[in-house]
Structure 1
Amino acid sequence: MLEVAAIAVLPFVAAIIVFLLAPNYFTLPGRGLKVTLVVIVAIVALTGFLVGHFNSRFLACQDFIVAGDDPPSNCHNDEQ
């Protein structure tokens, strides 16, 4: 039940976040420009999610250690 409520309020939360982070978004001329910006943001967010989820394909264990983080369980050792 809580999941349904969270999904139901998602558009309102998204609108509030957009209004706080980009108040000029609602004053942009034309619907096409707004849709284009939303698509660009969605593509960047999806790319970030996929890179984070499949970090073992992009990052080696040493990359996390150099950054000062603990390496995740699915990282690979890049022996050179």
Structure 2
Amino acid sequence: MPILSFIKGITFFSTTLIFIVYKLNGFVIIVGAVEKWISVFFFKIIAIYGFLLVMKPCIRGSKAQKLSPLACV
């Protein structure tokens, strides 16, 4: 899904940008950037897990459903 990868790209880019811009301003801000990255990372894991949980019956289904999981929604 292009929308999801687009959002992922934006999140990664903004986190990296924050980290680079504030790198010289001190340890506290770096920790803040890292914390933001970790929270985004965990959010992604939860989202992927939830998606797989919903899609589990579809993954076990036919090849057509495997190729287009959205057909199961």
TM-score tier by shorter-chain length is 0.3 to 0.5
Structure with larger Rg = 1
TM-score, normalising length from structure 2? 0.43
